[in-house]
Amino acid sequence: MADKKNEAFNLEHTLEELTKITEQISAGKVGLEESLRLYEKGMSMVNQCRAYLDAAESRIRVISQKADGLEIKEVSIGELKA
Amino acid sequence: MKNDHPLFMNFNAAPAPAKAHPSPGPLAGSQTRTPSKKGASTDLPERPKRPAAMTVSEACNLLGETIESCTPYPVQIRGEITNWKVARSGHAYLSLRDDQASLDCVMWKRDLEKSALKPADGMTIVATGQMRFYKPRGQVNFQVSAMSLEGRGELELRYRELCQKLLAEGLLAAERKRSIPRFPMRIGLITSDTGDALFDVVTTALRRFPPLQIVFVPTQVQGDAAPADMIGAIRLLNDNAQSLGPLDAILLVRGGGSFEDLWAFNDESLARTIAKSRIPIATGIGHEPDQTIADLVADACGPTPTGVAQKVVGESAAVRDGLAYFSQRMSEKMYQYLDTRNRDMDAAETKMESHFQRRLADMRRLLDQFDRRIASIEPARLASQKAMAVETARQRLMDTMRQRLQKCRPHVDRLKDRLQSHSPSLRIERLSSKFNVISRDLTSIMQRRVQQAAEHCRHFALRLDESHPDKILQRGYSITTLEDGRILDSVIGASPGLKISTQLADGRLISTIEAVKNA
């Protein structure tokens, strides 16, 4: 399930990290070795984000509390209009 | 009605039928005074020549008694408050009006203090009290003993009171509003499953962020049951984070409606539930700029359901732009650094070399001096010894320096390689050569198979050839046929006297059967 894979991936956090890494590299205060390590980490994060946007599909679930627990139903956007 | 009032007596005294005193206008509810016609049994005094005019006090008394006795008590009047003023005495003065008329009123301090309502201009109220006539001024006014708000006014009051209450508790403070991620991945949605708000919100959200996941809880959004329904939905989403996955925000929305239609969103329990929700809540209620209590307590709100969806759901296009910017900037910087480092290394190398060249030159000069000095003492041997030592030292020095330079270089090259490894050209080369290998293999495999097939053909051609009847005949076999051409391959069809033809490899024999013998 694409959901399980993305559970560990948080877009907001990753973008914040990327902002920091880009700033660090731009500032030029870290050594070359460290810059290269940050660069590799940063590019890997960019690829992660792109993969998430390209692969993740939207999902609409309708839930309600029933006597025996939580009822979850997957629906398509067309079904909502009805 | 006091018929022995001096005023009445004057009128009654007139022999000519007096014009009846005009009835006191619309306030007359109960019976009006009727002139006593009992004059039949009474001797009326002569009507004076000129009726005496009554005094102002008398007139006012008349008016006062008329008014106060003609109007029902208590009476209720509905109107809008204007010119509200509380005097220093503590008594309140106001006017009640509608679109055609206005009535001055007074409310005594003791009644005002008892009133739960805090009156103000513009309020539409129902005032209970009685009509009064204030004699010192000769003015009619309405003495209000109690007030209450009408209909919508009642609701507006409750709204204001709840606002104040929650404000005092700090629930509306900006500081306590939680921030919502700019690009939420999964959101909850609470609204009615009829109406346009649902579809509008979902299409807007998915258009902006296609990978978005939505968890929808249908609820009532109007009526007495609505607040409890929505409270249940908020709790449901908060309590089931495990099975649903972490929610970045909840949208609580409702399409347009009147103040009364949206009343459910001013419910106190709902407001407190919104404040307590662990998941941030953003509301988009109605299409008016007025905000409900829910809008005020929520962590964010929009002017309409679609508006709040636009506010909360970030655009995936913006993410892609950001990613492009990051990767470009990082790559630029990295190449810049490598460039700088390389140039620095080159410069350092050059400097070192020239530095040591100079040192060596200096040393050589020094040694030359020694040479000459030694030459003057013990020319040959000493000179050559020293010269050799010097030469060795020089060599060692040069080698050491060269080694050190050599050591640095690979390091830089390695770093360059690491960067290069991200370039696609290596991958392309690798894949290209792989393709060539596969292509060559394929060609040779195909050639071999073609060869094999040709072999098989040849083999079968040979075997076929062997089986040709001519080859069999050449080996000595013959074919015997009867006169009608049928092949005789058994003694059964043969009988003596039959003419037969025998085919040999190189010709035919025509013969007659003499005898038939079984094998």
**How, if at all, do strands A59-66 and A69-75 pair?**
antiparallel
Contact with chain A for residue B420, Cβ under 8 A? no
Q: What is the pLDDT of residue B328?
A: 93
CA distance to partner chain A, nearest, from residue B266 (Å): 24
Six token digits for residue B359: 């040192």
Of residues B236, B248, B320, nearest to A63 (C-beta): B236
**How, if at all, do strands B124-134 and B186-191 pair?**
unpaired
- Does A10 sit within 8 Å of B185, measured CB to CB? yes
Q: What is the pLDDT of residue A22?
A: 92
pLDDT tens, B185-198? Answer: 999 999 999 988 99
DSSP state of B333: H
Please state the rounded mean pLDDT for residues B111-118: 85
Which residues, 6+ apart, have CB-to-CB distance to B163 below 8 Å? B172, B293, B296
Considering only CB atoms, which chain A residues are within 8 Å of B193? 80
More confident residue, B288 or B332: B332
Q: pLDDT band at residue B43, thresholds of 50, 70 and 90?
A: low
CA A41 from centre of chain:
16
- Does A52 sit within 8 Å of B330, measured CB to CB? no
**Are A46 and B323 spatial neighbours (Cβ–Cβ below 8 Å)?**
yes
Strand spans (E) along B170-314: 186-191, 213-218, 249-254, 281-285, 300-302
**Are A41 and A30 spatial neighbours (Cβ–Cβ below 8 Å)?**
no
Delimit the domains of chain B by residue range: 6-68, 72-149, 178-314, 319-420, 473-512
Of residues A22, A60, A72, nearest to B326 (C-beta): A22
Considering only CB atoms, which chain A residues are within 8 Å of B185? 6, 10-11, 56
Give ∠ CA A50-B238-B181 in degrees, rounded to 5: 35
Q: What is the pLDDT of residue A82?
A: 56
Q: What phi and psi, each to the nearest 5 degrees, are found at residue B38?
A: -75, 5
- CA dist B35 and B19 (Å) reads 10
Q: What's the CATH code, domain B72-149?
A: 2.40.50.140
Least confident among B221-225, B380-384, B464-468, B493-497: B380-384
Q: At what angle do helices B196-208 and B305-312 cross, to 10 degrees?
A: 20
Give me the sign of the Cα torsion angle B50, B52, B56, B58. Answer: negative
A-proximal residues of B, 239-298, CB under 8 Å: 240, 243-245, 248
CA distance to partner chain A, nearest, from residue B418 (Å): 9
- CA dist A74 and A63 (Å) reads 9
Q: pLDDT band at residue B21, thresholds of 50, 70 and 90?
A: very low
DSSP state of B492: G
Those residues of chain A whose CB sits closer than 8 Å to some CB in chain B are 3, 6-7, 10-12, 15, 18-19, 21-22, 25-26, 28, 32-33, 35-36, 39, 42-43, 46, 49-50, 52-53, 55-65, 70, 72, 77, 80-81
Of residues A50, A52, A80, nearest to B202 (C-beta): A80
Mean confidence (pLDDT) of chain B: 85
Q: What is the pLDDT of residue B148?
A: 84
Q: What phi and psi, each to the nearest 5 degrees, are found at residue B128?
A: -105, 135
Please state the rounded mean pLDDT for residues B407-427: 80
* ipTM of the modeled complex: 0.87
Tell me the whole-structure pTM to 2 decimals.
0.54
Gyration radius (Cα) of chain A, Å: 20
SS3 state at B499: strand
Of residues B210, B322, B337, nearest to A32 (C-beta): B337
Judge whether residue B29 has pLDDT over 80. Answer: no
Please state the rounded mean pLDDT for residues A38-52: 94
Q: What is the pLDDT of residue A1?
A: 43
- Does A63 sit within 8 Å of B215, measured CB to CB? yes
Q: What is the pLDDT of residue B152?
A: 66
pLDDT tens, B75-108? Answer: 889 899 999 999 999 999 999 998 899 999 999 9
A-proximal residues of B, 46-85, CB under 8 Å: none
Q: What is the pLDDT of residue B271?
A: 96
Q: What is the pLDDT of residue B45?
A: 65
Q: pLDDT band at residue A58, thresholds of 50, 70 and 90?
A: confident
Contact with chain A for residue B334, Cβ under 8 A? yes
Six token digits for residue B46: 């002569």
Chain A with chain B: Cβ pairs closer than 8 A: 118
**Would you list the DSSP string of B365-383?**
HHHHHHHHHHHHHSHHHHH
Q: What is the pLDDT of residue B164?
A: 92
Contact with chain A for residue B419, Cβ under 8 A? yes
pLDDT tens, B336-360? Answer: 888 888 898 999 999 999 999 999 9
- CA dist A62 and B237 (Å) reads 11
Q: B419 vs A41, B216, B423, B430, CA distance in Å?
A: 13, 47, 7, 17
The helix (run of H) or strand (run of E) holding residue B386 is: helix B379-420
- Does A50 sit within 8 Å of B213, measured CB to CB? no
Q: What is the pLDDT of residue B168?
A: 94
Please state the rounded mean pLDDT for residues A56-74: 87
> What's the topology of domain B178-314?
Rossmann fold (3.40.50)
Judge whether residue B149 has pLDDT over 90. Answer: no
Considering only CB atoms, which chain A residues are within 8 Å of B244? 61, 63, 72
Of residues B211, B316, B329, nearest to A22 (C-beta): B329
Residue at B86: amino acid letter: V
Please state the rounded mean pLDDT for residues B189-209: 93
Q: pLDDT band at residue A52, thresholds of 50, 70 and 90?
A: very high
Q: What is the pLDDT of residue B421?
A: 72
Exposed/middle/buried for residue B12 (C-beta within 10 Å: 0-12, 13-18, 19+): buried
Considering only CB atoms, which chain B residues are within 8 Å of A19? 326
Tell me the CA end-to-end span of chain A in Å, nearest whole number: 27
Considering only CB atoms, which chain B residues are within 8 Å of A39? 330-331, 334
Considering only CB atoms, which chain B residues are within 8 Å of A7? 245
Nearest C-alpha neighbor of B324 from the set A41, A16, A47, A13: A47
Nearest residue of chain A to residue B325 (CA atoms): A22
Considering only CB atoms, which chain A residues are within 8 Å of B216? 60-63, 80
Nearest residue of chain A to residue B213 (CA atoms): A59
Judge whether residue B312 has pLDDT over 90. Answer: yes
SS3 state at B334: helix
